[in-house]
Each structure stands twice: as C-alpha cells, then as structure tokens.
C-alpha cells in the first residue's frame, strides 16, 4: 500500500481547516503544561510535609507530567474527531468516491493525524518537563540525569499513541458520540478505578494507559507494575495495533 501525496495533502487540508481539531490540540498542550506546572509548584511547597516514605518515592519527572491525565483526554478527542467527523457529516461518501482505495484513504488520514499528534505530543512533553522542573526548585532533576530523557520522550510517545488508539477505535465505531462516550469514561474513570482496587489491579496494569504511563516514570520504588518502561510502552503499542487493525478491517467490510 503506497501513500498517495495528493491524498496526504487532502487530509492535511481537512485537519487544519477544521477549527475543532486545531483547538483540541492547542487545549491539550495548554492544560497538560498548565496543570503540570501547578502540581509541581504545590509538590515543591508541600515536600517538607510529606512522610519519609512519600519523600523516598517522590518522582520529580513524573510529577511534572501530572497534567497528562487531562491532556490525554483531549488527544483522544482529537483522534476521534479526525476519523469520525466525516461519518457524522456524510462527507465520507465523497471522500471514498474520490479515493476508492479504502486502505490508502484511511492510511493517509492516520499518517497525517499521527504526525501532527507526534509533534504536539513531543513539544508538550518537553515544555511540560522543563516548566515543571522550574517549579520544583531544589527537588528538580535535569534532562541528562539517568532515565529522565527516556521519560520525557516517552511522554510524547504516550500522547501520540493514545491519540492513534482513539483513531483506530473511531474507525471501528464511526460515530463521534459513540466513540467518545466509550473512550472518555474508560480512560478517565474505569481504568483508574480498576487500578485502585486490589482485586483488579493486576488486570488494570495491562490496559493501554496504565501500561503506557510506565515509560514516564523514573523513580519506581512505589510502583508494582511487573514490567519495565519500554515493555509498558510496547504493551500500549499492542493495543494501538489491535485498534488500527480493527479499523482497517471494518472499513473494508462495511458500506460507507
């Protein structure tokens, strides 16, 4: 399957001409950075009041990524809107008439959206880290410290992958309302609840967001996930591949 330059340009025009997708990405970056700065500032001021155990497991890098919880939700919204908006407006018929090769059509759409999510995710991750560390004062770490650069790059990859996962799910579900009504509660509530309950904690560790977050951790003394940072990201990649495979398969099998 070859990505057609004309189709890539068309998909780029679609994305940048829709205000909702541009605003969603912008808001994802602002909220992730802003909340990370706020939590880092509060953590620095309250560090002396922490218990010795909490001080021991304190992870300055991961603390600066506190805003990822909200940022990932907006990246999910972006992924859903990119794929499903054409279904809700009926423009999908026109798009498929112009590009009859359905796999090429979806692949070009995903390629452009993934590249944009990657750029925004990486910039957001690096800015969040440096801004957060500036708020941590004497408790800060540096980008050259062991594991820190990996965590910062991993943060950008995490935001990218969560967005691509949403794209795959949206390609299967087609409806933006249905996609968001499933994905938003799952990542905001269900995943966190399952990870907080001892009986379901081991299962929750293998959910895409719970596994992917491992790559952003440097201090892992308080974390019980049975895998390392890159293994956790690889688990997340597995979920993304499965979602994309389902999207490509159903696009080929169903009518527009």
Q: What is the pLDDT of residue 224?
A: 86
What are the pLDDT digits (tens) for 207-231? Answer: 999 999 999 999 988 888 899 999 9
Would you state the pLDDT for residue 256?
55
| 220 CB-side CA count, 13 A | 17
pLDDT digits 0-9 by tens, 179-192: 999 999 999 899 99
Q: What's the start-to-end Cα distance of the chain, in Å?
A: 21
What 3-state DSSP class applies to 224? Answer: coil
pLDDT at 255: 64
For residue 143, report the phi and psi dihedrals to the nearest 5 degrees.
Answer: -60, -25
Count other C-beta atoms under 10 Å from residue 196's C-beta. 10
pLDDT given for residue 18 in this prediction:
79
Quote the tokens at residue 233. Answer: 């990201």
pLDDT of 232 reads 96
pLDDT in tens, the chain (256 residues): 456 888 888 888 888 887 888 899 999 999 999 999 999 999 999 998 999 989 999 999 999 999 999 999 999 999 999 998 888 777 778 877 777 788 888 999 999 999 999 999 999 999 999 999 999 999 999 999 999 999 999 999 999 999 999 999 999 998 999 999 999 999 989 999 999 898 999 999 999 999 999 999 999 888 888 999 999 999 999 999 999 999 999 988 776 5
């Amino acid at each position: 399957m070859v990505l057609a330059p004309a189709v890539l340009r068309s998909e780029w025009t679609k994305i940048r001409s829709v205000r909702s997708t541009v605003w969603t990405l912008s808001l994802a970056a602002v909220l992730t950075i802003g909340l990370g700065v706020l939590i880092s500032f509060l953590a620095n001021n309250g560090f002396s009041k922490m218990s010795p155990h909490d001080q021991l497991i304190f992870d300055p890098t991961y603390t600066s990524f506190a805003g990822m919880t909200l940022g990932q939700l907006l990246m999910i919204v972006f992924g859903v809107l990119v794929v499903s908006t054409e279904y809700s407006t009926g423009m999908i018929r026109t798009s498929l008439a112009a590009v009859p090769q359905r796999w090429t059509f979806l692949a070009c759409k995903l390629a452009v959206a993934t590249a944009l999510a990657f750029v925004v995710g990486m910039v957001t991750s690096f800015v969040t880290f440096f801004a957060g560390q500036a708020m941590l004062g004497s408790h800060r770490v540096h980008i050259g410290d062991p594991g820190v650069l990996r965590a910062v790059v991993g943060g950008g990859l995490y935001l990218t992958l969560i967005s691509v996962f949403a794209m795959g799910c949206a390609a299967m579900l087609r409806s933006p309302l249905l996609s968001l009504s499933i994905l938003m509660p799952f990542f905001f509530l269900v995943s966190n609840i399952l990870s907080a309950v001892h009986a379901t904690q081991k299962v929750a560790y293998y959910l895409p967001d719970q596994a992917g977050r491992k790559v952003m951790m440097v201090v892992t003394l308080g974390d019980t996930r049975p895998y390392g940072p890159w293994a956790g990201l690889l688990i997340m990649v597995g979920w993304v591949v499965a979602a994309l495979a389902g999207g490509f398969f159903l696009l080929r099998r169903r009518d527009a």
